[in-house]
Amino acid sequence: MYDAGAGAGAPDTVTYSSPSAAIAPLEADGNLQFSDQSTAVESWLVDHRRSKAQQGADRMLELPGVIASYWREGSHYRLRGTASMSPSEHAWWAAHGQEIVDSMAAPDGPDVVGLLHDRTSYGVYGDHGGAQESVQRVPMVFWAPGMTADRTTESFRTPDVLPTILKAMGIAPTASMDGKAHALP
């Protein structure tokens, strides 16, 4: 973040070093290394032990707007707890929440994740994804010379882009991928 009034390229160390008071519960035990908040809250911890990750997920559940908190265990996330959700939020979360957070599971992925209520964001709505249905339902358009027009209601996720393009080009994947290849018309 830069403050245009402080001169060309001068870092705004005041605002940058003062995160939202809403994430104070995450910082309470001094174990928060970094956190990114948009339509989900993703946090990396200093101490990655299981007990500390579980504590972080407990604190995550205290944040305003969080409906579910998870902690990372290897290549997947474990649900730590939930808060109240509307019936439509619950239906979407039950069908897709685990799959969405597991797409972040990697050795360098966040240690704890908090999913937020619909139309709730700690940043710009839709910024960097999230688990809300409105954020996940993004139109996908492919075009190539000679491709016929087609419209489908088939579920398509961002991880599906690369395998779909590779399949359309007749290129075999050289590594495993989270997404699946869709047939294009």
The model's pLDDT over 122-176, given as tens digits with 9 standing for 90+, comes to: 765 555 556 777 777 667 788 878 888 888 777 777 788 899 999 989 999 998 8
Q: Percentage of the chain with pLDDT > 70?
A: 84
The model's pLDDT over 69-128, given as tens digits with 9 standing for 90+, comes to: 999 999 999 999 999 999 999 999 999 999 889 988 999 999 999 999 887 877 655 555
120 shares its domain with 173 = no
> Are 93 and 53 spatial neighbours (Cβ–Cβ below 8 Å)?
no
CA 15/CA 20 separation, integer angstroms: 10
SS3 assignment, position 52: helix
When divided into structural domains, the chain yields a total of 2
Q: Give the per-residue pLDDT at 17.
A: 60
SS3 assignment, position 59: helix
Q: Which residue has the tokens 């035990």?
A: 29
51 shares its domain with 85 = yes
- By residue range, what is the domain housing residue 32? 4-136
The model's pLDDT over 28-47, given as tens digits with 9 standing for 90+, comes to: 899 999 988 877 899 999 99
Q: Which residue has the tokens 């209601």?
A: 153
pTM across the whole model: 0.72
Rounded average pLDDT over 42-68 = 95
